Structure 1
Amino acid sequence: MSNPIDFPRPSMVAVNGIELEVFEAGQENVGSPIVLCHGWPELAFSWRRQMEALAAAGYHVIAPNQRGFGNSSRPTEVSDYDIVQLSGDLVGLLDHFGYEDATFVGHDWGANVVWSSAVLHPTRVNKVIALSLPYMARGDVPPLAFIEAIAGSDSYLVHFNRQPGVADAVFDANTRQFLRNLYRDNEPTTEPGAGMALLNLALAETPRGEAVMSERDLAVFVDAFAASGFTPGVNWYRNLDRNWELMADVDPIVRQQALMIYGTRDPAVMRAPNLEAFVPRVEVVDLDCGHWIQEELPEEASRVMLDWLRRVVLDES
């Protein structure tokens, strides 16, 4: 597997009090914006194959390294990474390019930012495509207490918050090993071990399953996180309870047309059984892959997105 395109050179864009490193394709398609939002621990480079396909289909593709990633700004305060700031960055991108609204695509944490942007800024998000992570409606109790009661203190979501800095240091000390072990598919099923799973993964000398990208592509991620460290990205998780508070008075219904793409062998994500109740115009597609959908099935992921976009555009016309 190799990079099928020369990845575009970035520009630095001032938005929302910071700078984002932004990659574009299809600049000749101005007027048809689509914004691609990566997850953790990912980069805009995660969309390299989709950028080419979307640009060829007539879209102006905008793929930022979101705050805390790559050469984008890395503020020091944990609260600088809450959902209001992350969504504000995306709105700032639209303002920079002169767009009233755009289609937003997100994977993993990027999907959460896109879902949240759809309710925080409903006039700026015209369609939503989410990979791996479904819309999670706001619960009645703060999420950390809920997760800890269900999954225990070794859940990475809890560990990141209750033991700040511990996981970051392990990831920083084992950057290549952690990312090599994380970006895998078809991992053999085993009983859960003791301790925090992501720390165990970072310390494991032997990877399990199959690599989802080439060594050349993996090196892009390794070099980026070796330079930035993992703390800024992990700080996204350290705002779970703050985000819950910030979203208290927001209409929770996603009213835009939406596409939800699940990987049927994704061990990291649970399906949302009440998705249609909160996203009434959603279409759900299952792909035979794990968590890293756009890496594992790049052509199929692009095809599913483009087929859905064509049908939605036809329905609107």
Structure 2
Amino acid sequence: MINVINNGFNPAQFPKSKMISVNGIELEVFEAGLQNAGKPIVLCHGFPEHAYSWRHQVPVLVAAGYHVIVPNQRGYGNSSCPTEVTDYDIEHLTGDLVGLLDHYEYENATFIGHDWGANVVWRLAQLHPKRVNKIINLALPYQERGAKPWIESMREVFGEDFYFVHFNQQPGVADTILEENTSRFLSNIFQKNMAPTLPEPGMLMINLAKAEKPLGEPLMSKSELAVFISSFEKSGFSGSINWYRNLDRNWHFLKNVDPIIQQDTLMIYGNRDVIPKFERLPEFVPNVEVASLDCGHCIQQELPEETNLLILKWLEKHNF
């Protein structure tokens, strides 16, 4: 029988972190399970998140026999926060994950990504295909490279106030506002059922940082939210926002990279998420299976048991 329940996991029970030197920086890494079990699985968080975003999945995966590795990626938590914007491009972000595999002496691993973490996993499979065994991605489908750089395309479609564009056009502005309103911003963004308020996102992140009242229902308890707040009060937001500031650089970097991902893949969507499904996903990921859950963007936190069941059944089916 597959056990998908985390039995009331709380902040005190999350694995203790350790610092690991990889790729010229240090990553704060939380791990659980047996290293030599031969079943490594790496969980990659999104924005504005933390390794703790996977708190519901860690104990369940460990119980299923996996060695679970959960980094705070560069710019997050106690991991290194380089000052150069270009130190957050996709070459560096995927290089960090390769460095983690080298540290643990794993030839490859299964990677699970959510949001920006999913984007890094997609590109890891393109840039370092031999290091990726299988893929499970949540919320963010594969992004086709297209004919124009991503920020340029977004500017044409959504305008200058779209937060991806604003992050690139006004360096430091959003960083400061989010840091001045860290608790409010994180309280407001980690809400369920916000989709009706977001058809015209505009200055979405800044609006969330300034909003007096939450726009939905709380996604997590106050003690869980405190983990995120404490982390960003220490790290600030510049490192994590710098991921966005490299999108066009990434577009150029990927010019001659094979766009097709061959690994067995599970793509999990939230039906209430504002990020649309990518109907042409099988063209780029031919071995993909698609599942959907009735939730918003933070799938693994909003519906943890349902997410765990999908993940464990899929892994069992594919004989990892």
Query: Do they fold alike, i.e. is TM over 0.5?
Result: yes
Q: Rate the CA distance shift 1:220–1:191 in 2: closer, same or farther, 3 A.
A: closer
| Residues 6-85 of structure 1 mapped to structure 2, 5 A cutoff | 6-27=13-34, 30-85=37-92
Residue of structure 2 equivalent to 1:294: 300
Q: Rate the CA distance shift 1:189–1:90 in 2: closer, same or farther, 3 A.
A: same
Q: Secondary structure at the match of 2:130?
A: coil
Work out the CA distance in 1 between the residues paired with 2:196 and 2:209.
Answer: 18
1:215 aligns with 2:200: no
Q: Secondary structure at the match of 1:63?
A: strand
Q: Which amino acid aligns with 2:297?
A: H
Q: Which amino acid aligns with 2:85?
A: V
Residue of structure 2 equivalent to 1:312: 318
Work out the CA distance in 2 between the residues paired with 1:188 and 1:239.
Answer: 27
Alpha carbons 1:160, 1:237 under 8 Å: kept: yes
Calculate the aligned-residue CA RMSD, in Å: 1.5
Q: TM-score if structure 2 supplies the norm length?
A: 0.95
Unaligned runs of at least 5 residues, structure 2: 1-6
Alpha carbons 1:107, 1:133 under 8 Å: kept: yes
Residue of structure 2 equivalent to 1:164: 171
Q: Secondary structure at the match of 1:313?
A: coil
Unaligned runs of at least 5 residues, structure 1: none
Q: Which amino acid aligns with 1:166?
A: V
Alpha carbons 2:197, 2:215 under 8 Å: kept: no
- CA deviations over 1:251-291 (Å, ceiling 9, x no partner): 00000000000000012x11112100000000000000000
Which of 263, 268, 287 is equivalent to 2:270? 263
Q: Rate the CA distance shift 1:258–1:202 in 2: closer, same or farther, 3 A.
A: same
More displaced stretch, 184-193 vs 47-56: 184-193
Q: TM-score if structure 1 supplies the norm length?
A: 0.96
1:277 aligns with 2:283: yes
Which of 109, 126, 143 is equivalent to 1:119? 126
Q: Which amino acid aligns with 1:55?
A: V
- CA deviations over 1:189-219 (Å, ceiling 9, x no partner): 2475685121111100111210110000000
| Residues 219-238 of structure 1 mapped to structure 2, 5 A cutoff | 219-238=226-245
Residue of structure 2 equivalent to 1:99: 106
Alpha carbons 1:188, 1:208 under 8 Å: kept: no
Work out the CA distance in 1 between the residues paired with 2:86 and 2:280.
Answer: 30
Work out the CA distance in 1 between the residues paired with 2:123 and 2:66.
Answer: 23
Q: Secondary structure at the match of 1:158?
A: helix
Work out the CA distance in 1 between the residues paired with 2:47 and 2:36.
Answer: 29
- CA deviations over 1:43-74 (Å, ceiling 9, x no partner): 11000110000010010000000000000000
Alpha carbons 2:195, 2:273 under 8 Å: kept: no
Deviation at 1:25, TM superposition (A): 1.0
- CA deviations over 1:215-266 (Å, ceiling 9, x no partner): 0000000000001000000000000000001101100000000000000001
Alpha carbons 1:2, 1:217 under 8 Å: kept: no
Residue of structure 2 equivalent to 1:251: 258
1:3 aligns with 2:24: no
- CA deviations over 1:170-206 (Å, ceiling 9, x no partner): 1000000000000011237247568512111110011
Q: Secondary structure at the match of 1:253?
A: coil
Aligned length: 313
Work out the CA distance in 2 between the residues paired with 1:188 and 1:141.
Answer: 28
Which of 111, 117, 129 is equivalent to 1:110? 117
Q: Rate the CA distance shift 1:201–1:87 in 2: closer, same or farther, 3 A.
A: same
Q: Percent identity?
A: 58
Work out the CA distance in 1 between the residues paired with 2:8 and 2:189.
Answer: 19
